[in-house]
């Protein structure tokens, strides 16, 4: 199951949706599933258990009663939903699921050895099903709307020995997820990487169905007036205070997060999305696949992506992202997965508040992370992984990452240290201090080539840089220009000195470097 943005960004109006829960782990998971689909999810903070769980009722009855109770406490006429999880263990169940909706209390008073022994005494059938049911309340509808997701599999043969995920706390040995192996996998749900777990996760399935329905409701809400029949005069003053302005009222913060594979870009956005309200996140690869699908094409590899961008425009993804960010008008927008300088240039130009964050990590550390999350057809050796880095460099932005980044943060240590750095970055005074100083040797060499206006030798380039300030010696400009083959083309002919000329993509890089150089750079 792949999460997609769908039509969400075509809408001017979106239903503001609340999740009523006291379970922090459920909330984080739901926020991430919503975010990966292009939606924000609001939370109604409850100081107590959100509703009484009557286990004598069916799941539908329990959720209906819960919504009724929540609606009495939740004063605003808002769209909200509740979720309940249940488990059926075949060896211990009959017509009624066991432990059913009482799974939370049952798990607290049962250890794995107890369950293993009970299954053996009942014939040894280890089959089980985990279910997630959601009830959605629309204030203008008299009945709830229900969504059901479930995953079948088996109880593992042994107690869990893996560690809980610190970032995705529902992926843990400390719930039934640590005992449950879904069909189609040889790993417990709790020990999967987040991206892999989505296809197997029972709650992700019900949330996906909810989001699909919300998309239909949002599509209806955005129909023109002529599609509606007014059965009574509209009250022009009704609920005006609940309508959100579509125009930005103040400057919003935008972070463009770049970095190599497994450096921590998704971790950056997932952490902030899961732990802060008012955060909107977009991922470049998902946007690219969406744009390609609209044109009847599929993106299955880096080569496909390069070919598509080369034909449609190197900044086509950024244009879509900038439009979505402007529409959403969130307090903090995070855009990850931008890979071309044209994309970064467009975003920096269209969104003046945008700043570029480079996330770095040692290659070996990134490879170890890759192995933990790799799929069967992914790189399995460090050499193959290094080739993936080379492929990504070919898009351009990572060639000059340190040149265009406002801030660099490292993600080599433990996850808590990384989260602390991310928090510190977000809390920095704006505009935050940049790592940049004077124009780099690459920038000055490219400027010199632009001024010369033709292919030039390294001696000619050095002389031209001297006219702008400190000269860049020929050995240095050769090294700098050689490092960016997408922007500086080597001209080598037998019997002639090596020359360089600007490639068709070089003007965009120069505009970006000029823009970066002219941006505020407060003293650190």
What pLDDT score was predicted for residue 247?
Answer: 33
For residue 438, the model assigns a pLDDT of 64
What CATH architecture applies to the domain 253-427? 3-Layer(aba) Sandwich (3.40)
Q: Where are the domains of the chain?
A: 8-218, 253-427, 441-518
d(CA 190, CA 163): 9
Residue pair 346/240 in contact by the 8 Å Cβ criterion: no
pLDDT at position 523: 35
8-state DSSP, 479: H
**pLDDT tens, 256-279?**
999 999 999 999 999 998 888 889
What pLDDT score was predicted for residue 142? Answer: 79
Has domain 441-518 been given CATH number 3.40.50.2020? no
Confidence (pLDDT) at 278: 85
Phi, psi of 62 (to 5 degrees): -60, -45
8-218 CATH pick, 2.120.10.30, 3.40.50.2300, 3.90.950.10, 3.30.56.10: 3.90.950.10
**Nearest CA-CA partner of 200 in 303, 129, 95, 248:** 129
In this predicted structure, what is the pLDDT of residue 276? 85
Structural contact between residues 306 and 395, judged by C-beta atoms closer than 8 angstroms: yes
Residues 87/175, Cβ–Cβ less than 8 Å: no
Q: Are 184 and 126 in contact (CB under 8 A)?
A: no
Q: What is the DSSP letter of 432?
A: P
Collect the ranges in the chain with pLDDT lower than 50.
231-251, 522-524
Q: What is the pLDDT of residue 282?
A: 93
**Residue 328 confidence (pLDDT):** 82
The pTM of the whole model exceeds 0.75:
no
């Amino acid at each position: 199951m792949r999460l997609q943005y769908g039509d969400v960004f075509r809408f001017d109006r979106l239903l503001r949706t609340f999740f009523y829960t006291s379970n922090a782990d459920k909330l984080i998971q739901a926020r991430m599933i919503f975010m990966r689909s292009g939606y924000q999810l609001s939370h109604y903070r409850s100081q107590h258990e959100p509703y009484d769980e009557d286990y004598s009722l069916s799941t539908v009855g329990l959720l209906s009663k819960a919504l009724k109770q929540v609606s009495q406490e939740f004063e605003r006429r808002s769209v909200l939903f509740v979720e309940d999880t249940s488990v059926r263990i075949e060896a211990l169940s009959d017509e009624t699921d066991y432990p059913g909706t009482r799974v939370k209390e049952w798990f607290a008073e049962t250890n794995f050895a107890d369950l293993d022994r009970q299954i053996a005494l009942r014939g040894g059938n280890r089959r089980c099903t985990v279910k997630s049911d959601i009830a959605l309340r629309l204030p203008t509808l008299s009945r709830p709307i229900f969504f059901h997701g479930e995953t079948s599999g088996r109880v593992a043969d042994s107690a869990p020995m893996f560690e809980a995920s610190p970032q995705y706390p529902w992926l843990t040995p400390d719930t039934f997820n640590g005992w449950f192996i879904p069909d189609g996998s040889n790993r417990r749900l709790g020990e999967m990487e987040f991206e892999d777990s989505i296809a197997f996760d029972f709650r992700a399935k019900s949330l996906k169905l909810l989001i699909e329905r919300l998309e239909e409701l949002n599509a209806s809400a955005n129909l023109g007036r002529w599609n509606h029949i007014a059965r009574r005069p509209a009250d022009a003053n009704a609920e005006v205070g609940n309508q959100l302005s579509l125009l930005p009222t103040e400057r919003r913060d935008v972070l463009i997060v770049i970095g190599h594979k497994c450096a921590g870009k998704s971790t950056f956005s997932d952490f902030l999305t899961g732990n802060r309200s008012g955060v909107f996140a977009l991922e470049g690869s998902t946007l690219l696949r969406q744009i390609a699908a609209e044109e009847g094409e599929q993106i299955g590899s880096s080569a496909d992506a390069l070919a598509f961008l080369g034909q449609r425009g190197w900044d086509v993804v950024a244009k879509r992202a900038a439009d979505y960010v402007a529409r959403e008008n969130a307090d903090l927008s995070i855009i990850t997965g931008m890979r071309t300088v044209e994309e970064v240039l467009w975003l920096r130009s269209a969104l003046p508040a945008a700043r570029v964050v480079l996330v770095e990590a040692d290659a070996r550390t990134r490879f170890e992370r890759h192995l933990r999350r790799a799929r069967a057809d992914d790189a399995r050796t460090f050499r193959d992984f290094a080739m993936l880095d080379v492929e990504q460099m070919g898009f351009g932005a990572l060639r000059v990452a340190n040149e265009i980044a406002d801030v660099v943060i490292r993600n080599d240590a433990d996850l808590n240290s990384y989260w602390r750095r991310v928090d510190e970055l977000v809390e920095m005074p704006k505009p935050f201090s940049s790592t940049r100083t004077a124009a780099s040797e690459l920038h000055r060499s490219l400027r010199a080539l632009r001024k010369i206006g033709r292919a030039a030798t390294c001696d000619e380039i050095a002389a031209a840089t001297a006219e702008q300030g400190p000269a860049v010696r020929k050995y240095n400009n050769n090294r700098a220009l050689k490092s960016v083959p997408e922007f500086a083309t080597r001209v080598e002919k037998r019997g002639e000195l090596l020359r360089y000329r600007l490639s068709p993509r070089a003007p965009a890089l120069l505009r970006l470097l000029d823009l970066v150089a002219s941006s505020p750079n407060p003293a650190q």
